[in-house]
Structure 1
Amino acid sequence: MSYIHYLRPCSAAMALCCVYPYAYAADTHTAPTKLFDPLVVTSVKPDQTPLRFVTDPKQPRQPLPASDGSDYLSTIAGFSAIRNGGSNGDPIFRGMFGSRLAILANNSYMPGACPSRMDNPTSYISPQNFDELEVIKGPQTVLWGPGASAGTIRFDRKAPVFAEGQPVQFDGSFTGGSWGRNDQSADLAVGNSQYYARITANNSHSQDYEDGNGDKVPSKWKKWNTDVAVGVTPNEDTRIELSAGAGDGEARYAGRGMDGVKFKRQSVALRFEQENINDNWHKIEAQLYYNYADHDMDNFSLREFNPSGGMMMPMTSNVDRATWGGRLATQFSLSSEVKLDVGLDTQHSRHRARRGMLNTHRDKPRVKDAQFENTGVFSELRWQATDTQEIIAGMRVDFASVKDYRDTSPTHNQRRTDTLYSGFLRLEQKLSDATSFYAGLGHVQRMPDYWELFSPNMGTPGSKNAFDSIKPEKTTQVDIGLQHKADAVDIWASAYVGHVQDFILFNYRPGGMMGSMSQVSNVNARIFGGELGVEYALSSAWKLGTTVAYSWGKNTTDHQALPQIPPLETRLSLGYESGKWSAGALWRIVSKQSRYALNQGNVVGKDFGPSGGFSTLALHTAYQANKNLSFSVGVDNVFNRTYSEHLNLAGNAGFGYASNTSINNPGRTLWATMRVTF
C-alpha cells in the first residue's frame, strides 16, 4: 500500500481488526477490485511487510477516537499503554518502554520534562493533526535517531497537493461521547503548485469516566494544539517549509500523587526537501527544529488535597525541557541495483526544575539540573540482488554526552560520554507472487535517558547514584516475518527473539516522600514474542479478521520474569460494507498475566501482582453521506464489564484507593463522529 495522500476523502468502508480491508467482487476467489479507506479504524495492517505499518491517524478509530499518540498506537498489534488516568498513557511495544521507542513528530524529538513521564512524548501528539503514522518494528532502521531498540514511531505531515482550480482543502471532525467527551479538529490548507499555507488545530475535553461498577475514576482532562506551516514548492521535487506550533492542557490522574495542570508546548521547525536531483542523486533532506515543554504539577488544583495521597502538604513542581536538533540526509545510487542513504542528526536537550508549596514556585528561578547532547552519523544501503531478493543493511554511530548540574548531587558537574554503535542486516525475499518473507539481525546500544539517570533515588549498591552507575543498554535481536496475500485471505506474521545486555531495571521499596524509594540497576534479559494477523473475505460485503500479540521477557541475571510485560491479546472482528453503509464488531480478549516481578518495573509503573483476564465487545456503524461528509457511531465495552489492564497504575490513596489496587478501565462508552472533507 502506498503512502496515504494528504486530505484524501474517505470512501464508504470500514476497518477490520487486523488490516485496511479490500473490497471484493461477488466471487471472493477473484482478485480485489479496489482498495478503499476505512471509515472506522479498529487496527492497522503492515504496509509491504509485517515489519512496517503505515496508517492515516485522521480516521475515526475504535475504541473511542484517540486522545493522544499512545491511545492511537494501541490499535496496532503489539502495543499497550500504562494507564494512569483518562489520557496521556505511556506506550509500550512488545513489553519495551520509554526511550527504547524512538518517537518523532514531524521528524523531531520532544522528550517531555516530568521526572515520572507524566508528559511523555505521545502526550503532546494529537493524532488527527497528522497525515501519516509509520511504525517500524525492532532495530531494523538507523535513519531516525539513537536508541530505537524496540521500534521507531513517526507521526508526520505531508506537503498538500492541490488539484487544478481547487486552492482550498479542508478536513474537519467533531466527536462527542460519554463522560463529556468533546473533540473538535480542523485542518485547512490554501495554496497552489507554487506555495501553500496550512493550519491544523484541535480541542479535546473529557470529564472523569466511570468503570463497569459505576464508580468514578479520577481521569478528566483537556488539551488543545495549533500548528501553522507555510511552504514554497517551486516545482514538484522541491519543498521549503517553515512551521510553528503551540499547545496546552491539563489532566487528572487516579494513579498518581500529583496531577498535570500545565502541558505547554512550543515548536518551531525549518524543513527542506529536494528530490530527483540527477540520475544518481535521488534526494536530500535538511531540517532544524526547536521544541519546548513547560509542565506544571500539583496535588490540589484538580483534586481536593489529601495528605494520604503521599504528600503531607500542598505541593507544586514546575519542570521544563528545551530540545534543539537537526538532521541532514541524502540518498543516491551506487548502481542501478544499489541505493545508499547517508546522513547525520543531532540533538541538544536542557532540563530545568523549580518546586515549592502551593504556587510559590513561580517566584523562584528555574534551575538547570541536566543537559543531554547526541550527534549521530548513519548510513543505510538497499541492494536489489535479484528480482525477488533485496538486502538492506545499516550502521549508526552516536556520540552521546550528559552532564549532571544538580547542586545536591554527589556527581554535581560531572559529565558522562559514550560512543554507541548500532546496526542491522536484513533479507527480504519474495517467495511467490502472493508470499514474501524477511529476516533481520539488529543491534542497538542505547544511552540511559533522563528518567533512568536522574529520576531514581538510588543507583546500584555501592555507587554514588544512578548517574554514576548505570551502563548503556545493548540489545541484539532477530526479527522475522511472513506475508501471504491470496484471493480472499491475507495473512501476516512477525516474530522476534533478543538478548538485552545491561537492561535498565527499576526496583521499588518502602520509604521516601511518596511512600517508596526507587533503585535502578543493570541486568541481562532475554525477550521473544510476535504478532499474527489474518483476514478472510466471507463474501463481497462481509469480512472476518483477527490479530494476536504475545510478549515474553526474562531477567536472566536474577532468573525471574521481566516486569511490565503485557499478556497475550487477541482481537476478533466481523465487518460489513455495502454501498454507503458499513458496520463492524470488535471482540478483544486479553489473557491473565501470571508472570510478574513484584515491585519491579520502570520509572512510571511496577508489577504488584498477577492480573486477571478479560474480554470486551465494541460495535460501530458508519455512513458516507457523500464524498465530503461521513458519520460514524460506536459503543465500546458493550456489556459494561469491570476490568483493569495488567499495566494500569495502582490508584492513589488520596482518591481512596487501597494499596496496590489498579485503576479500572472505562465502562460502557458511547461515541459519535462527523467528518467533513473537501
Structure 2
Amino acid sequence: MTAARPHRRPTRLHTAILASLATMAAGAQPVAAQGLDTILITAPEPMAIDQPVTLTADDAAPRADLAEVLREISGVEAGRMSGHGLDPVIRGQREHQLNVLLDGAAIANACPNRMDPPTSFGNLAGYDAVEVRKGVTTLTRGPGGSGGSIELTRNTFERAAEPGVQSRFGFATSSNGLTDQSSADVLMSNGHAYGRVIGQIANGENYEDGDGNEVPSSFKQRSGTIIGGYRVSDATGIEVSIDRNRMLDTRYAGTGMDSIFDNATIYRLDGRLGDLEGPVDGVRLEVSRANVDHLMDNYSLRELTAPMPMEAPAESHTTTARLTASSHINQIEIDYGLDFQRVEQNAQAINAMTDMLAFRQWPDGQTDQFGAFVESDWDLGDSNSLRAGLRLDRFESEIDTALDKSIATHMMVPADIRAAAAEAKSDTEISGLLRYNHAFNANLSGHVGLSRTAVAPNLTQKYITLLMNGMLAKVGNPDLEPEIHHQIEAGLAWQNERLATSANVYIDQVDGYILQDRQIAGLMPMTTSYRNVDARLYGGELDLRYALTDWLATEAQFSYVRGRNTSDSRDLPQIPPLSGNLGVRAERGAIDGAVVLRWAAHAEAIDEQSGLDTRETAGYAVLDLNAGYDITRNWRLEAGVDNVFDRTYAQHVNRAYSGAFGDPTSRINEPGRTVWARLTARF
C-alpha cells in the first residue's frame, strides 16, 4: 500500500485561486510558522508557459455535475437547465468554442438540445484531475479552443510506476438535490503491468430554490472504468481503457423533454515510445472512439402538457486519433504531429401515439477534421521563454440527403436552405500561436500571447431542423463559415511571502462569429437560425490571496467579460456579468475551513433577438461555509452549507424555464440552502 498524503487537502475556493495564480507565479514560498502547519502558496517554476487551473475530487463540494464545480474558477461559468448536464462557459465562449477531452478522448453530445454536453460524461471521482486552460495556450490538442479547454486527466501510467495497491473510496450526500454519491478507485501494479478499476453511483432528487419551489432536476448516474497497461519505462508503454457512463431518468426544468437514458461508452488506446536516440525524442499515439445512445420524451417523467406525446431517439459517435512526436534542438523543444476527428450525429422526433416520424433533427450528419501541427518552446535564458505554434486544419461536413423530413428534404424548410444542405461542405484554415513569458525578478512575472484560431461550425448550427406546433422553430445554416478568432492576452503575477496575486486581460476580435438569431432574411420572424457576424469579446480576471497569519488567509476573485456583435451594434447573448468570490480560509492542525461569499452583478447586457436571453438577470450575493477534519492520515471528513441564508437567485448564464415548470422568461433558479457532507478514505 502507498502512504497517505502528508498534507491536508485545501478547501475548494483556495485550490481554485491558487491554481489560477499558478499560471505565472514562481516556486513555493511558505509562510513561516512556529510549531504549526504552514500555508503554502504553491506554484510551478516561473518559466512554465501554459500551466492550467487544476482541480481534483477533493477540491470541491460534492456536485451532481462536473461543470458546477468548474464555476469556482474565475472566468468560468456554466449554464444550467437541470441538476445535471450544465454546459461550461469560459470567458463568454461555449460549446464548439471550447475543447473538452476525457483522458484524451473527445465525445460529442447526442442530444441536439445539449442535455449532455461533453463534461456531463465525466466526474471528478473517476479522474485524477480536471485541467482548465483559459484562452489559447497550445495548438497541439486539437483545432479551435478559442475560449479555452477542459481536460479530465488520469495519471494511471505515471502512478503505476509504484508497485502495490493504491485506492480511494468516497461517499457524499446533501440535503438538497444530490442524495448520495459513492465512488471507488483501485489501482494495482507490479511496477510494469497494471490494472485500474473505477466506479461511481450517484442519485439526485429535484432540488428546491430559496423560495421552496421544486425545480425538476432528478437523475440517476452509473459509471465504471477498466484500465489496463504495461510500462516498459517511465517514457515507454501502452494503455487501453473502457469507460461506461449511464444517465437514467434525468429531468430538465429548462427544456420540453426529459432524458430517459443517455448511455456513453468510450474506448481508448494510448501508446508511447520515449527515450529514443536520434532526431526524435519520443512518439505518442492516442486513439479513441466514443459512442452515445440517447432517448428523450415529453411524457414518461412529467405530466403531458404538449399537444401530443413525442419521443426523440438520438446518437453520436466520435472517433479521434492523434500522433505526436517530440524533438529537442539545443534550447528548443518541439512537438509536432497529425490529428483527426470524426463526429457522426443522428436524431429524430417521433409521434409516440402513431410511431410516425415527425422530422429529423440531425439527418445522419458527419463532420471530419484533419489537422497537422508544430509547436516549439524556446528557453531564451535570463528568465525569458517563447512558445510558437502553427497548425493547418481541413474541415468537411455532410448529411444523408436521401432521408426524408430533414433540412434537405422537409417542405417547410426554405428551398435555398434545402439546396445548400444537399451539398457537402469543406474549409481549410490556418491557426497560429505566439506566447512570451518573462520573469522580471523573483517576485514578479508576466506574459503576453497572440493567437489566431479557427472554430468550425458544428452539425447543429449547420443542419438542425426543429418543428413546434406545426411551425418551423429552428433550422440550421449549411453555408456557415468557420469563426476566425484573433486574440491578444497579457498578464502579470506577483508573489511574496504573504501576498499572491495575478491579473489577466484579453481581447478577441472574431471574424464570422456564429450567432443564433431570430431575425434572419427569408425566415419567419420566430424561426431561429444561425449566421456569421463580426464580434468582439474582451475582459479579464483578477485573483488575490493574502496570508494574515500562519493559519489564516483572505482570498478574492474577480472576472469580467463583455461581448459585442459589432456587425449589428448589439450585445452578444449569454455573456456573464461581473462576478467573483470573497473568502476567508483557516487551516490549523487537522482542521481547516472557509467562509466564502459568491456574488454577481446585475446582468443588463443582453440580446433578446437570439432567443437565449429573455430578460435582464438580477445580481446576487450568496454565503457558503465549509470545513474539513483529517480523522487520520487515511480518513477525511468534510461538511458544509451552501447558500446559508437560503437566497433565491439565478445565474445569468442559465437556461430559461420550460413553460411547464415556470415563467419561460425567467432563468432557472439555483438551489436554496444545501447542507452536504463527504467521507473519503485513501490507502
Q: Same fold (TM over 0.5)?
A: yes
Q: Does residue 26 in structure 1 map to residue 60 in structure 2?
A: no
> What whole-Å deviation, never above 9, does each CA across 1:435-479 have from its counterpart, x for those lacking one?
111101101112111121122669xxxxx9744321111110001
Q: Does residue 133 in structure 1 map to residue 130 in structure 2?
A: yes
Match for residue 369 of structure 1 among 345, 364, 371: 364
Q: Does residue 401 in structure 1 map to residue 400 in structure 2?
A: no
Which amino acid counterpart does residue 290 of structure 2 have in structure 1? N
SS in structure 1 opposite 2:96?
Answer: helix
Alpha-carbon distance between aligned partners in 1 of 2:451 and 2:269, rounded to the nearest angstrom? 32
Q: Does residue 155 in structure 1 map to residue 152 in structure 2?
A: yes
> Gaps (5+ residues) in structure 2?
20-27, 409-417, 468-473
Which amino acid counterpart does residue 182 of structure 1 have in structure 2? D
Alpha-carbon distance between aligned partners in 1 of 2:214 and 2:272, rounded to the nearest angstrom? 50
- Once the 2 structures are TM-superposed, how far is the Cα of residue 365 of structure 1 from its aligned partner? 14
Alpha-carbon distance between aligned partners in 1 of 2:641 and 2:44, rounded to the nearest angstrom? 23
Match for residue 86 of structure 1 among 83, 87, 91: 83
Q: Contact between 1:50 and 1:494, CA under 8 Å: does it hold in 2? A: no
Alpha-carbon distance between aligned partners in 2 of 1:363 and 1:93, rounded to the nearest angstrom? 37
> Gaps (5+ residues) in structure 1?
1-5, 38-43, 459-463
Alpha-carbon distance between aligned partners in 1 of 2:572 and 2:45, rounded to the nearest angstrom? 28
SS in structure 1 opposite 2:101?
Answer: strand
Q: Contact between 1:239 and 1:273, CA under 8 Å: does it hold in 2? A: yes
Match for residue 557 of structure 1 among 567, 570, 575: 567
- Once the 2 structures are TM-superposed, how far is the Cα of residue 162 of structure 1 from its aligned partner? 6.0
**Superposition TM-score, scaled by structure 1 size:** 0.90
**Alignment correspondent of 2:268:** 269
- Once the 2 structures are TM-superposed, how far is the Cα of residue 661 of structure 1 from its aligned partner? 2.1
Alpha-carbon distance between aligned partners in 1 of 2:197 and 2:373, rounded to the nearest angstrom? 33
Q: Structure 1 residues 359, 415: closer, same or farther in 2, change over 3 A?
A: same
Q: Structure 1 residues 466, 298: closer, same or farther in 2, change over 3 A?
A: closer
**Alignment correspondent of 1:283:** 282
**Alignment correspondent of 2:308:** 313
What does 1:541-620 align with in structure 2 at a 5 Å threshold? 541-600=551-610, 606-620=612-626
- Once the 2 structures are TM-superposed, how far is the Cα of residue 283 of structure 1 from its aligned partner? 2.4
- Once the 2 structures are TM-superposed, how far is the Cα of residue 56 of structure 1 from its aligned partner? 3.8
What does 1:370-449 align with in structure 2 at a 5 Å threshold? 370-406=365-401, 407=403, 408=406, 409=408, 410-411=418-419, 413-449=422-458
Match for residue 667 of structure 2 among 658, 662, 666: 662
SS in structure 1 opposite 2:52?
Answer: strand
Match for residue 353 of structure 1 among 347, 350, 368: 347
**Alignment correspondent of 2:298:** 299
SS in structure 2 opposite 1:88?
Answer: coil
Q: Contact between 2:505 and 2:541, CA under 8 Å: does it hold in 1? A: yes
> What whole-Å deviation, never above 9, does each CA across 1:552-578 have from its counterpart, x for those lacking one?
111111111111100101201101111
- Once the 2 structures are TM-superposed, how far is the Cα of residue 588 of structure 1 from its aligned partner? 0.7
Match for residue 180 of structure 2 among 168, 173, 182: 182
- Once the 2 structures are TM-superposed, how far is the Cα of residue 169 of structure 1 from its aligned partner? 0.9
Which amino acid counterpart does residue 565 of structure 1 have in structure 2? I
What does 1:167-206 align with in structure 2 at a 5 Å threshold? 167-179=164-176, 181-206=179-204
- Once the 2 structures are TM-superposed, how far is the Cα of residue 267 of structure 1 from its aligned partner? 1.1
Match for residue 634 of structure 1 among 640, 646, 659: 640
Q: Does residue 624 in structure 1 map to residue 630 in structure 2?
A: yes
- After superposing on structure 2, the runs of 4+ consecutive aligned residues of structure 1 that deviate more than 4 Å are 20-23, 32-37, 44-51, 160-166, 359-368
> What whole-Å deviation, never above 9, does each CA across 1:4-57 have from its counterpart, x for those lacking one?
xx99737324334422697532389x9x967599xxxxxx99997795324242
> What whole-Å deviation, never above 9, does each CA across 1:238-277 have from its counterpart, x for those lacking one?
2200111211113111111001111101111111122322
Number of paired residues?
645
Q: Contact between 2:157 and 2:229, CA under 8 Å: does it hold in 1? A: no
Alpha-carbon distance between aligned partners in 1 of 2:185 and 2:9, rounded to the nearest angstrom? 22
Alpha-carbon distance between aligned partners in 2 of 1:642 and 1:167, rounded to the nearest angstrom? 49
Q: Contact between 1:456 and 1:518, CA under 8 Å: does it hold in 2? A: no
Q: Contact between 1:567 and 1:590, CA under 8 Å: does it hold in 2? A: yes
Q: Decide which moves more: 267-276 or 525-534.
A: 267-276
Q: Contact between 1:11 and 1:624, CA under 8 Å: does it hold in 2? A: no
Alpha-carbon distance between aligned partners in 2 of 1:68 and 1:104, rounded to the nearest angstrom? 16
Indicate the percent of aligned positions where both proteins have the same amino acid. 29
> What whole-Å deviation, never above 9, does each CA across 1:647-673 have from its counterpart, x for those lacking one?
222211122x23312221100000000
Alpha-carbon distance between aligned partners in 2 of 1:530 and 1:617, rounded to the nearest angstrom? 24
Q: Contact between 2:239 and 2:270, CA under 8 Å: does it hold in 1? A: yes
**Could you say what the CA RMSD is over the residues aligned between the two structures, in angstroms?**
2.9
**Alignment correspondent of 1:3:** none
Q: Structure 1 residues 372, 98: closer, same or farther in 2, change over 3 A?
A: same
Which amino acid counterpart does residue 7 of structure 2 have in structure 1? S
Q: Contact between 1:197 and 1:231, CA under 8 Å: does it hold in 2? A: yes
Q: Structure 1 residues 591, 438: closer, same or farther in 2, change over 3 A?
A: same
- Once the 2 structures are TM-superposed, how far is the Cα of residue 83 of structure 1 from its aligned partner? 0.8
Alpha-carbon distance between aligned partners in 1 of 2:110 and 2:69, rounded to the nearest angstrom? 22
- Once the 2 structures are TM-superposed, how far is the Cα of residue 203 of structure 1 from its aligned partner? 1.1
**Alignment correspondent of 1:40:** none
Alpha-carbon distance between aligned partners in 2 of 1:577 and 1:52, rounded to the nearest angstrom? 26
Q: Does residue 338 in structure 1 map to residue 329 in structure 2?
A: no
SS in structure 2 opposite 1:517?
Answer: coil
SS in structure 1 opposite 2:7?
Answer: coil
Q: Structure 1 residues 481, 8: closer, same or farther in 2, change over 3 A?
A: farther
